[in-house]
Structure formats: structure tokens, C-alpha cells
Structure 1
Amino acid sequence: MRAATLAALLLIAPLGACVSVTANDYGDHTGARATPGDFGEATLMNTSGARVGRAVVTQGATGLLIRIEATGLTPGWHGVHIHSVGQCAAPFTSAGAHVNHGMPAKPHGLLNADGPDDGDLPNIFAAADGSVSAELFTSRARIADEGPGEWLWDADGSAIVIHANIDDHTSQPIGGAGDRVICGVMAAG
């Protein structure tokens, strides 16, 4: 098997650490494990293509810390997920399904007895003016890892997606969270 080496660089500054990734002929990835403090920033865009905020993702010892600052949401609760493809062409379906490392893949929902999938995150709350400032943590995803798998900064990247409605954390496939209204790309270069 021939392996091609890819440099895992964030497309959007500021850059944290550079993580080296290798893809084999089957698309599996191996490479350096992300270390605590590795980070990157994704610009959040709405469906009209306007910049509405940012998400900063930082690797911790046991998972990821995700800080989200955004505007332009309807007031109230919104589902937010990590999607498996680093593309944000409106209506953001190009971001694919949730990151899901399990074999077989786990169903959606933080409250699902058979879940959650690796892209599931807690809901965020938008204030009366449509702004949100949130800090989320997940132990089910990494920036990069040594073994084969789907990481945030693998060859096809990933995306942070905010939905129009609250996620009930049980319904399939996305907890009733509705349309994808904000998206931010994190991808390998």
C-alpha cells in the first residue's frame, strides 16, 4: 500500500500546532496524535454567506473544548453538531452527517441509550438579540489521532453546524434540530 503524506493545517487562522496526517489507498488516516493546546478557529457563516461569528476548537487531554461566539440566530435554544466534511455551501448539507467513529456507527442523541454519535454536542442558547456565547466540551472527538479514523482535521476536514431549532437529544437522525443555519469549516490543507 502506498501512503501519501498530508500536512494537516487549518484553513482559517490563527494556526495552532501543525498535525501531520497520512492517508492510505483506502482513505484511512494515520498520523500524529494531537496534543493538549493544539487549536484552530473556524469562521461561522450564515446561509447568505455573511460572517456571523467564530468557533475556536482546542484539544485538551481528554477531549475538545469548543468556544462559540455568534450572532443572527433566533432567540432560544439551538442544536449544534460536529459534521464530518469540511464544506459549508448553503444550505450546509455539503457538511455531511455527524462525525461518527463507532463501528457500527452509533445513533444520534446525548440522551439515547445506544448513542451518542461523536458529533453530538449540548444545545446552545441565543439571547433576545440573537447572539450566543457558549463553551462546550466533548470527550468523543479529537483534532487528530494516531490510528485510522475520522478526525476533525483529516483529509476532508470537518464543520461546526448550528441548527434552527433545539436538539431533543433522542430523535433520529438529528434530534429534530431542523435546518442548518450557521456553518464553519475546519479542514486539512
Structure 2
Amino acid sequence: MRSVTPTAALLAALALTPLAACASMAPGAQMMRATPGDFGEATLINGTGARVGRAVFRQGATGLLIRIEATGLTPGWHGVHIHAVGECAAPFTSAGAHVNHGEPAARHGLLNAMGPDDGDLPNIHAAPDGSVNAEVFTTRARIADAGPGQWLWDADGSAIVIHANADDHTSQPIGGAGDRVACGVMAAG
């Protein structure tokens, strides 16, 4: 009898994993994928209209990667959301509510059993000098013509908003994230 090493057993199991995942899909179903490569950008401004950073959006096959670079924030955690209107007039309520296409609308919060809504993103952290360099990823929004998630280049555009406080990812309507302190209108690159 031939013995199987633990490494060989692990490699065999890993080789079968993709087949097991495909077997669980409905017959004839295909995973929706966006066309990678679409690009967008938003100049972030504060409540006085001063430029405080930028957000860069890159479409991947299964979601949207967002790189956020900002200065002038209060040190600590800040909630970040994608809002439904591409307008940033202080105090940034002009950006509207979060993007959300669910029927009925999903509840706010990445940790909410009834959520998340399509505009929910992970928190970002500002360093002691108020600067942020972060990347977040979402499968619930897209800038490509096709694929999963809310399409952000609709007739009234979209905006990315940074809040004064951290988002607790459960409470309504915005997880206790507080005032909108920075905003950027999203535009195709």
C-alpha cells in the first residue's frame, strides 16, 4: 500500500476545491464579472471647499478597489460611504443617501444582519498628523458597464463621503459616523 504524505493530501484537496465550488452553483448559472480596467477619480474637499485629497477607483473583475489619500482629518477612525448623488456642496448633504438598489432597501451596516447597503465601506484610519493612505474593496458597487453591484456612473453620478467618526457598521442610519467632513464627486478617468 502506498502512503500519502500530508503535503500530497493537501495538494489533492486544493486541486478539487474549485470543482466543489462550481458544483454548488445552480445549473446553467454563471458568475457575473465586470470588465477590469475602468478607472475613476474624485477630488476630496473639506467643508470650506479646500482640496484635502483624492480617491481613485479601479474596476476589478468582481468588485471595485478604492484608494483613498487625504490630509487634514482628525486622527483616528472615520466612516466612508458611497453616496447616490454626484454633488458636494457643504455640508455635503447634497450627496444624498447611500447608493442602494435593493428592493426592499437593505439596512446600513457591514455587520448588520439586514445589510449591508451598497454604499457601505470599511472605516479608514487617519494617522496622528491627520493623513490617510488606505485601500478598500467592495463587491457592491461598480464603474464598469456590466457586472455585479450598483452602477455608479448613472445620470446623477455618485460621491464618496468621509465622516467625522467611525462607523459602528450596525446602527441606523449611518452607524454613528457623524458629520460629513470630506466629499468627492466621482468622475470617469
Q: Are residue 98 (structure 1) and residue 83 (structure 2) matched? A: no
- Asked if the contact 2:108/2:172 (under 8 Å) is kept, the reply is yes
> More displaced, 150-159 or 120-129?
150-159
Q: Deviations over 1:84-135 (max 9, x none)?
A: 0000000000000001011111000000001000000000000000000000
Distance 1:87 1:142 in 2: 18
Which 4+ residue blocks in structure 1 deviate beyond 6 angstroms?
none
Give the superposition deviation at 1:181: 0.2
Offset of residue 145 of structure 1: 4.0
Mapped partners of 2:127, 2:146: distance in 1: 40
Contact 2:125/2:132, CA 8 A, preserved across alignment: yes
Deviation for aligned residue 1:156: 0.4
Task: For 2:161, give the aligned amino acid.
Answer: V
Who is 2:54 aligned against? 54
**Is contact 1:40–1:56 with CA below 8 Å preserved after alignment?**
yes
> Residue 137 of structure 1 aligns with which residue?
137
Residues 40 and 187 in structure 2, CA contact (< 8 A), matched pair in contact too: no
Give ranges in structure 1 of 5+ residues lacking alignment.
1-32
DSSP-derived class of the 1:41 partner: strand
**Mapping of residues 1-189 of structure 1, within 5 Å:** 35-146=35-146, 151-187=151-187
Superposed CA offset, 1:127-159 (max 9, x none) = 000000000000011114459x95211110000
Identity percentage over the alignment? 87
TM-score normalized by the length of structure 2: 0.78
* Runs (5+) with no aligned partner, structure 2: 1-32
C-alpha deviation, 1:41, in angstroms: 1.1
- Asked if the contact 2:77/2:126 (under 8 Å) is kept, the reply is yes
The total of aligned residue pairs comes to: 155
Contact (CA 8 Å) 2:59, 2:144: kept in 1 or not? no
User: What CA RMSD, in Å, does the superposition of the two structures yield over aligned residues?
Assistant: 1.7
Structure 1 position 55, deviation (Å): 0.2
Amino acid at match of 2:185: V
Higher strand share: 1
User: How big is the shift at 1:166?
Assistant: 0.4
Distance 1:81 1:144 in 2: 19
Taking the aligned partners of 1:41 and 1:150, their CA distance within structure 2 comes to: 17
Deviations 1:68-99 (A, max 9, x none): 00001000000000000000000000000001
**Alpha-carbon separation, structure 1, partners of 2:34 and 2:61:** 9
**TM-score of the aligned structures, taking structure 1 as reference length:** 0.78
Contact 2:81 2:120 in 1 (8 A): yes
